[in-house]
Structure 1
Amino acid sequence: MTETSSLSALLPGQILARGVCRHLLHHGFATVEELVPSPGLRVDVMGLGPKGEIWIVECKSGRADFTSDRKWRNYLEWADRFFWAVDANFPVELLPEETGLILADAYDAEIVRMPAPSPLAGARRKVMVQKFARHAALRLQGYRDPGVTASGVSP
């Protein structure tokens, strides 16, 4: 399968997440996608930085995708910094100014606006680093053995 054909199978938000993850790697961040910080929430991208900082990036493919998101404020308590990732055609004036802004495509991204830090409490940080590690390890195990799920081995 070529890179172009594998990209065509991705949804718009997944394409943005790919570029964001590539870019954050250049800043020393390890990333995971679709992490659940608490029941009812699932972040698009979570980055764990070289000094233990935690960033959440929500990828929005268009106006309707953004305006229908009612949960994004609930993500703020789970990260040191919160960003939106959008493509170059997104109406960025919709995005709250106190949040971060990343312009992305399938190949890279650029941090356009850095939000002010909102440092996590030590206990919350420990929980999030553990969730990040478990999520990453389970994803890796799933790639190595596709029959494995978070609840065990499927028949």
Structure 2
Amino acid sequence: MAGIDLGGILRDMFGKDPSELSDKELAEKVEAIKAAPKKETVSYEDLLAIPQDEWKNYDVQMVRIVSAEGVEPCELCAPLIGKYFTLVDGRFYLNHGRANHRAPFCLDMVPAFSSSQGWKCDLPEYPAEGVPEAPGYQVFHKWAEEVYGRDQAGK
């Protein structure tokens, strides 16, 4: 694995080796970088209009489970409302639910946190201390089995 050429990165940023710049020049270059326009990011509202399977391209790390629009959650789905989990896990469980749940499906998800890089979206960063209400894998695995069992028995 190749190392990072930090010297090259700094030369690209400052136009020459930082050791060749005076303190004043270096401070001016840093201020110019800070004042430069930031890259356009996608708002929370705009993210909701983007298909969920593309959210990974916008730095969505965590999602929150919500009720599907216009649907009152069933007894199996109600305890999951408001829980947070990774985008990958969220997509897996919601896809499983859509495939195995009696219609209409009770759940949906909304973006919650970005990764620490914070690129392409204006979501808050995932907190370093974590999200205490984020359930573990077993919680959702048990839910997925219960949905499948109940809805297969009803067919």
More strand by share: 1
More helix by share: 2
TMscore range, shorter length: under 0.3
TM-score of the two chains, using structure 2 as the length reference:
0.25
TM-score of the two chains, using structure 1 as the length reference:
0.25
Bigger Rg, which one: 2
